Structure 1
Amino acid sequence: MWFSLLASLSAAALIYLSDRQQRWLDRPLPTVVRALGVLMALASAALWVLTLGLGVGLMVAMWLLLLAVLLMSLWAGHYRDSFQKVNGKPGGVR
């Protein structure tokens, strides 16, 4: 179960960081990394299904992937977008 969790979170990170609109890196990771992330997400879903059964396993796999990508994008938006103040000015204004 811990390996399934690690694979799900790693897949979400790879998929997010290879997207062209991600905000953590200056440039997104190559598209090969996205394919690896999708394969890892499918493998982690299969591991969740083997561990918890078909219905619950698929639901856990989908929710973990969704929550991980959502929280990464919200976290990046909170710390990297322009609404943050830097020296009393919004972060996007220079």
Structure 2
Amino acid sequence: MKFYDKGFIFNYDDYTQVQIFSAGTAILDMKIYEDRVCSSTFKCEKLEIFNAKNLHKSYKKEFLRELFNKNEKEIIHRDRKNRILIKIKKD
């Protein structure tokens, strides 16, 4: 998955919601729960399955939620071994 657009991150008690927009249209609306991730573009999946498909099976299931919940202005996750780069810039 590659996205280079603007979005929003909402942190709720039960889940974290990530919305990404391109030209005013939502291209990703993803909700990350403790045990699964759901999106309008794919069915709900267990986090382990999502990670294995989109990242790498070695990633712990909490990875995505922890990444989006970090309280930093700029988040960079670089995994050269698995060729994964995630950059999040918060305003």
Length-normalised TM-score, structure 2: 0.28
Answer with 1 or 2: which has the greater Rg: 1
Larger relative contact order (CA 8 Å, sep ≥ 6): 1
| Structure in which a larger fraction of residues adopt strand | 2
| Structure in which a larger fraction of residues adopt helix | 1
